Amino acid sequence: MKLKSKDLLGLRGVSKEEINFVLDTAVSFKEILERPIRKVPTLRGLTVVNLFYEPSTRTRISFELAEKRLSADMVNFSATTSSVRKGETLKDTVRNIEAMKIDMVVIRHSASGAPHFVASCLDSSVINAGDGAHEHPTQALLDLFTLREKYKKLEGLKVVIVGDILHSRVARSNIWGLSSVGAEVAVCGPTTLLPYQIERMGVQVFSDLDQALEGRDVVMALRIQLERQKGGLLPSLREYTNLFGITKERLKRLNKNFTIMHPGPINRGIEITPEVADGPYSVILDQVTNGVAVRMAILYLLSGGEEKVE
């Protein structure tokens, strides 16, 4: 099997077979990461450029490590501002970089669709490391990997995503990915932070956290940002915490063997209490560990890899 596209831009429309193919491949890479020498020559001679137009710690380091473990040559580029009029355009930037002979681009950008735009300008493979409020496919794949590791199968799993759905690319990619593999997805958040007709994405919608948690296996809490208060979407973080904070008390409504997830970075005590974030049912750090393996699998498969690696 091979991936259909040269790029990974999003999970919308990606089949169950392809998702499982990536996750299966990631299993082999996770084994490598557990060896004493965590490095393979798989991508030797290939050059990957990490273009980060938005601040990132976790995703960026995760990609960098994945590239290094695969022996790829990597270059980092970060810019605090996007293109537009002043300075060089995004198109010129990426075409100049490509002219230096590279094979893959990993891009994080605040504008939804920026990776699609870059992919249309380049022959290199493009991996979306998060674009605006659109998609963050590698995050969703590592979330799926983490859940599959724990539950063995994803079909029928009941997942609720809690928080700022409106601005969340993690929510969108997870909705597509989880739905594609047969999980049942719900979203829960204040009505000002639920996007228009979100139910048409095939999810149940809640604004009452207790109702939303009832009978779920997995809770995925999202980061809430202080700027939403200034934007008039929330009265205060205090009230948000009262209504949507994941507390130990509320976990009673979940199914046995439940799981707590968070894509990070966490606002401890706001969307999730420290107690819950660090509890035995929390897989937040496993998500981070698995991120490297999943990204290795994606880099490998997009570089033309077909079968499982040894």
Partner 1 sequence: MSEEYDLIVAGGKVIDPASGLSSVADIYIKAKKVAKIEVKDLVDLKKSKSSKEQKIVDASGKIVAPGLIDMHVHLREPGREDEETIYTGSQAAVAGGFTSVCCMPNTEPPIDNQESVNFVYERASKALCKVFCVGAATKGLKGEELTEMADLKEAGAVAVSDDGMPISSSRIMRSALDYSRMLGWPVISHCEDLNLSSDGVMNESYTSTLLGLPGIPSLAEEIMVSRDLSLAEFTSGRVHIAHVSTRGSVELIRAAKSRGINVTCEATPHHFSLTDEIIKTFDTNARVNPPLRTQRDVDEIKKGLKDGTIDCIATDHAPHSIEEKDVEFGAAPPGMVGLETALGLVVTELIDKKILTWEKAIAKMTMNPSRILNLNLGRIEKDCRADLTIIDPEISWTVDTSKFKSKSKNSPFQGRELVGKAWMTIVDGKIVYRL
295 binds partner 1 (CB under 8 A): no
148 assigned ligand-binding residue: no
172 binds partner 1 (CB under 8 A): yes
102 binds partner 1 (CB under 8 A): no
> CB under 8 Å to 51, separation ≥6 — which residues?
77, 78, 79, 93, 94, 97, 105, 106, 107, 108, 109, 118
Cβ atoms 70, 123 nearer than 8 A: no
Cβ atoms 48, 74 nearer than 8 A: yes
126 binds partner 1 (CB under 8 A): no
From residue 144, give the alpha-carbon distance in Å to each of 11, 237, 249, 261, 294.
12, 29, 26, 11, 10
Write down the least CB distance from residue 162 to partner 1, Å.
Answer: 18
User: Biggest alpha carbon distance in the chain?
Assistant: 56
Candidates 127, 42, 37; CA nearest to 308 is 42
Piece of the chain touching partner 1 by CB under 8 A; list 34-42, 68-76, 127-135, 282-290: 127-135
HSE on the CB side for 129, CA within 13 Å?
27
33 binds partner 1 (CB under 8 A): no
Select 55 or 215, whichever has its Cβ closest to partner 1: 55
Candidates 14, 81, 12; CA nearest to 301 is 14
Cβ atoms 103, 74 nearer than 8 A: no
Q: Region of 234 please: left (phi>0), alpha (psi -120 to 50) or beta.
A: beta
Contact track, partner 1, 200-219, x by CB under 8 A? xx------------------
Among 27, 65, 79, 111, binds partner 1 (CB under 8 A): 111
Q: Which amino acid is at 175?
A: I
127 binds partner 1 (CB under 8 A): no
Candidates 22, 12, 39, 9; CA nearest to 291 is 22
Select 91 or 150, whichever has its Cβ closest to partner 1: 91
279 binds partner 1 (CB under 8 A): no
Write down the least CB distance from residue 260 to partner 1, Å.
Answer: 25
Size of the site for partner 1 (CB under 8 A): 27
Select 109 or 262, whichever has its Cβ closest to partner 1: 109
58 assigned ligand-binding residue: yes
Among 5, 78, 89, 236, binds partner 1 (CB under 8 A): 89
Cα–Cα distance, 130 to 30 (Å, whole number): 23
136 assigned ligand-binding residue: yes
81 binds partner 1 (CB under 8 A): no
Piece of the chain touching partner 1 by CB under 8 A; list 192-200, 244-252, 279-287, 301-309: 192-200
Residues within the interface to partner 1 (CB under 8 A): 12, 82-84, 89-91, 109, 111-114, 116-117, 131-135, 169, 172, 195-198, 200-201
Q: Which residues are annotated as a binding site for carbamoyl phosphate?
A: 58-59, 108, 136, 139, 264-265
